[in-house]
Amino acid sequence: MSNGSEVRPRSLITEYFWRHRGKFAAGFLLLAATNLLALSVPRLLKHAVDALQAADRPALVRFSLAIVGVALGQALVRTWSRLAILGASRRVSAELRDRLFSHLQRLPLTYYGRHATGDIISRSVNDMLLVRSFFGPGMMNLVNTTLVYVTTVSMMFHMDARLTLYALAPYPFFLFAVNRLSRRIYTHSIGLQEQLGTITSRAQENISGIGLIKTYAREDEEAAAWAGLSRDYLQRALALARVRGALVPLMGIMASAGTLVVVGLGGRAVIEGRISLGDFVAFNAYLAFLVWPTFAFGWILNTFQQGTSALRRIGEILSEPAEERETLGPDEKTPLSGGIELRDLTFAHQGAPAGVAHLRGIDLAVPPGGSLGILGTVGSGKTSLVSLLPRILPPPPGSVFIDGRDVATIPLARLRHDIGMVTQEPFLFSRTIRENVALAPRPFTTAEIDAVVEASRLSNDLGDFPKGLDTVVGERGFTLSGGQRQRATIARALITKPPILILDDALSSLDALVEQEVVDRLKQQRRSRTILIVSNRVASLSWADRIIVMDGGSIVEQGTHDELMRAGGLYARIARRQSLVADLEGA
């Protein structure tokens, strides 16, 4: 795995802003041009008012037409600025979304065991929308507001410095209050987004497990739990809305206070002849320019706070160390032979208390082309053991070897290409059966697909599918029976002809006859590949060259089927019990 370095919001902002600096720079320059055009309107309005007072009709017409022309030019330039900035923001969100999804694909399985699926989805979808608003409307309005304040206040100072100071005197007090409110907005935004992740997780779990909910008649309880989460989300949303709502009247008071000052003091200046009526009108027009940026300031703060919190949540995922996918060198082109060796293996899952081990002191060797059956009690560590070979779980250094090499030194591309694994819970994508079988990253011929379909005995049921292998299965393959899903995943594991095949309780949903047919096919191939088969059925393991029995994370028995039966230990007791059950079911 790569060493994960912390990805901070500031670094993401800098990286993507710099990457699209051309688009953003063009947009900001166009915004500057837009504001320069807008600022010329009050000046033209001043001359128009002065011309009106002097009854200079040609000048009045000339300045009026100039105002119309400037307004049209401003609209055109503003449109170009929006296209540049908002277009760049969409490119940023698209690239960041692709980067996040790609990183999610390379995160180890242990990450998904520690984080709710719904929360990951919420960060990938809802938070990404906030990021787009941050780089788009948020950035655009921030630059626009800054330009408006700088240029407009400069023009106002040029016209009457004292009047400008009086008009802007209330602003520092209001800005202090806005700064305090923005901190509360950030806190509430984080809480709201996290609660949205919780709701998304609950929805995903309920939709995925709807069959279980109906089986146990928990519809009302789940609806009540959902209502509780929704109420919590509502309270958080209302708390955020109350803080955000305080910004609007605050900005309104600030703008109105400035206007009141200008009307009072500016009117006196006109009466005293210190400024003309045209200057008074232009000054009020400039002050009016500050109203929208002042209102927008609160929205900008909220957008930046939400965007920053969204970038922080996305950065938390990007900071997680990903699995390294090394490029295969010339010496890695040869497939693995399949020899497996475990040397004093002791393993504990991530987050386990100190001193707790899920596997203890395991020594084991399986030669290339050999077969190993693994039987054990519930929670004895069978799945953990086989998951260490393809590094689905991180193996301790110097404990797991294939072909004499520590698996930690074998590139994942080589390791996982040469290990076919069928897990306890068969998973199919909502695609055709053919696409699910041929999922490996290379094209397969029809003959190759047909061969593994036959080997897994999925061919027995092809007549039940409307379009045969081209039938689209439902989400997670739920339109197929459990046995059909298991056989499809076995076919998927066989199609790459892996030197090592791991079947982790992959025959549990098959009836006895089909299971025997699959086992017979595996027997025929066992000398061409190393096979590890985990099962709670003795009948599924009895043919293996060697069988180990696990209990409490350790190997308590090992040998051939006949040797273990003669030993009369745990294996023999389980075998006799299962034989008795089979006889009773037959009777």
pLDDT at 1: 45
Report the 10 Å Cβ neighbour count for 557: 18
Task: Give per-residue pLDDT as tens, 209-256.
Answer: 676 676 667 778 778 887 888 888 888 888 887 777 776 676 666 666
* Boundaries of every domain in the chain: 9-318, 336-418+501-512+530-553, 426-497
Confidence label for 330 from pLDDT (cuts 50, 70 and 90): low
Q: Residue 345 pLDDT more than 60?
A: yes
User: How far apart are the two ends of the chain, measured CA to CA in Å?
Assistant: 55
Encoded tokens for 440: 């490996």
Q: Residue 364 pLDDT more than 80?
A: yes
Q: Residue 468 pLDDT more than 50?
A: yes
Confidence label for 142 from pLDDT (cuts 50, 70 and 90): confident
The reply to whether CATH 3.40.1360.10 applies to domain 336-418+501-512+530-553 is: no
Per DSSP, the three-state class of 120 is helix
pLDDT at 379: 82
Which conformational region is residue 585 in: left (phi greater than 0), alpha (psi within -120 to 50 degrees), or beta? Answer: alpha
Q: Residue 518 pLDDT more than 70?
A: yes
Give the separation between CA 531 and CA 523, rounded to whole angstroms.
Answer: 10
- Name the DSSP class of 98: H
pLDDT at 252: 64
For domain 426-497, give the CATH number.
3.40.50.300
The residue with greater pLDDT, 330 or 408, is 408
Q: Which range in 217-226, 327-336, 381-390 is most confidently predicted, on average pLDDT? A: 381-390
Give the separation between CA 522 and CA 224, rounded to whole angstroms.
Answer: 50
Pairing of strands 554-559, 546-551: antiparallel
Asked if residue 418 lies in contact with residue 336, where contact means CB atoms within 8 angstroms, the answer is yes
Vertex 351: Cα angle to 348 and 357 (nearest 5) = 20
| CATH topology classification for 9-318 | ABC transporter transmembrane region fold (1.20.1560)
DSSP letters, 306-326, are: HHHHHHHHHHHHHTSPPPP-P
Task: Give per-residue pLDDT as tens, 389-431.
Answer: 988 888 889 999 999 899 988 888 888 888 888 888 888 887 8
Residue position matching structure tokens 């294939």: 402
Do domains 336-418+501-512+530-553 and 426-497 share one topology? The answer is yes
What is the value of pTM for the model shown? 0.69
Beta strands in 457-499 (DSSP E): none
- 3-state secondary structure string across 145-166: HHHHHHHHHHHHHHHCHHHHHH
Encoded tokens for 59: 């000048």
Task: Give per-residue pLDDT as tens, 79-99.
Answer: 898 889 888 999 998 899 899
pLDDT at 374: 92
Instruction: Supply the mean pLDDT for the chain.
Output: 80
Q: Residue 41 pLDDT more than 80?
A: no
Per DSSP, the three-state class of 371 is strand
DSSP letters, 367-385, are: -TT-EEEEEE-TTSSHHHH
